[in-house]
Structure 1
Amino acid sequence: MKGRNIVIIGGNSGIGKSVAELAKESGANMFTYSKSQDDSNSLDVTEDFSEIAGLPEVIDGLVYCPGSINLKPFHRISIADFKSEMELNFFGAVRVLQSSMKNLKKSDHASVVLYSTVAVQTGMGFHSGIASAKGAIEGLVRSLAAEWAPNNIRVNAVAPSLTDTPLAQQLLSTEDKRSASDKRHPLGRIGKPEDIAEATMYLLSEKSSWITGQILPVDGGMSSLK
């Protein structure tokens, strides 16, 4: 990864922060953007934009991290809620990808990593909003992987289960909730940001150079074991 230009959208906390730390340790040139930043790299992905200031001329790796956890029974999810989920998780990714496309095409080995969720392939109650938005991400991954393969741009996604990030604290607010969440996973614990970051680094690196159009489950066995 040394000397490669890596762009991380949402790199100030949680999984994105862990990816940024690992990429920096590997010698990559880091370009991080986040809504919470106060400098020129502040970016609200829910707003309309067609360009991102300060992108490197050549992008070798692009990671889109913004996400949400809004779990409600279906009858309580409004159309506005569904639209909000799509704006952040899906349309934000589309805006970033369209703004970065020409820079990705200038790389000889570009890799794009998006994030899905275990709830897309494993039906879970109260997940209709987020599963719908991330299901759209999975479709986008496969379509773009096919379209961009001639440009040698790989497109993949990581599909985590519950991970111990600031975003998930509402689900882990007590020891009882944390213990119950741990026990739901076959490996006996929820994920750590580093678990997802390591998988992301693999997909960004040349070690995965023959992998594209894939959804990589990193979920403690949740999607395939009982």
Structure 2
Amino acid sequence: MDPLFGLEHKNILVTGASSGIGRAVAEMLANQGATVMITARNEERLEAVLQSLPNDGHHFFCADLTMDEEVKKLAAEMPLLDGIVLNAGMVKTVPVQFVKREDLDYMFNLMLHSSILLVQQLLKNKKLKPGASVCFISSVASQKITIGNAIYSAAKGALNSFTKSLALELAPKQIRVNAILPGMVQTAILDSGAVSDEQLQIHLKNYPLGRFGQPQDIAGLTVYLMADVSQWMTGSLIVLDGGYTLK
């Protein structure tokens, strides 16, 4: 394999890695040769992910990244990193008039503040190598708005702006920063009933390719962004949505 496309000898941190997109990312990066550090809140599920990874040298760290002290502890425990994939998501459709302060705080803490503060701590601890790659998992909901999604869209929109600002700030260190904006991805969050089957079938009609995404669809793009072949890409918001935003 051309070394530009490989991930051998790269240490990569994946957050939200116990299920869904995060798990698929960790598994695909490891299958391409990376040594992955995975983190999430559920220790049992993290252990299961770790056991699914090929080769040795991978590690898991149980942490709640909405807690500042746990963010600091995680950053301090990291080895030197060649890349980070920051993945945090939830589905909660709430019209603005029914939003509670605790909903607002939790959603922004989970999807925005935790990622910002983790990157900050990694930089303070000098854990990102020159030439490292940072990838945020955002959402097309930041660009294509639907009723009831105002808070989620606002948090992801802020993450997009942070991606571009951070890319400019870290460019002198040759650290590149990008975000993936997925459309609807079939994960356990959807299977949990957070969105009804009827709503999903109606929404599916908006996808020209005729299906929702799979976690592996997102994971494949993170492989490109973590590899040296993407070393001239930074500040990009990459839409990956099966054609959803074409309509």
TM score, norm. by length of structure 2: 0.84
Secondary structure of the structure 2 residue equivalent to 1:62:
strand
Pairing 1:129-208 to 2, within 5 Å after superposition: 129-169=151-191, 170-171=193-194, 174=197, 176-208=198-230
TM score, norm. by length of structure 1: 0.92
Query: How far did residue 178 of structure 1 move?
Result: 4.0
8 Å contact kept, 2:132–2:175:
yes
Q: Residue in 2 aligned with 1:37?
A: 43
Q: Residue in 2 aligned with 1:87?
A: 109
Greater CA drift, 28-37 or 76-85: 76-85
Gaps in structure 1 of 5+ consecutive residues: none
- Structure 2 residue 77 is the aligned partner of structure 1 residue 54: yes
8 Å contact kept, 1:51–1:99:
no
In 2, Cα distance between equivalents of 1:77 and 1:177: 21
In 2, Cα distance between equivalents of 1:135 and 1:113: 15
Q: Residue in 2 aligned with 1:11?
A: 17
8 Å contact kept, 1:6–1:60:
yes
In 1, Cα distance between equivalents of 2:186 and 2:154: 22
In 1, Cα distance between equivalents of 2:63 and 2:182: 24
8 Å contact kept, 1:114–1:156:
yes
| Count of residues in Structure 1 that have an aligned counterpart in Structure 2 | 221
Amino acid at match of 1:18: A
Query: How far did residue 171 of structure 1 move?
Result: 4.7
Query: How far did residue 94 of structure 1 move?
Result: 1.3
Query: How far did residue 167 of structure 1 move?
Result: 1.9
In 2, Cα distance between equivalents of 1:187 and 1:97: 35
CA RMSD for the aligned pairs?
1.6
- Note the alpha carbon deviations across 1:33-63, whole angstroms, 9 max, x for none: 111126871110111122315311x110101
Q: Residue in 2 aligned with 1:103?
A: 127
Query: How far did residue 30 of structure 1 move?
Result: 1.0
Gaps in structure 2 of 5+ consecutive residues: 1-6, 48-59
User: Percent identity of the aligned residues?
Assistant: 33
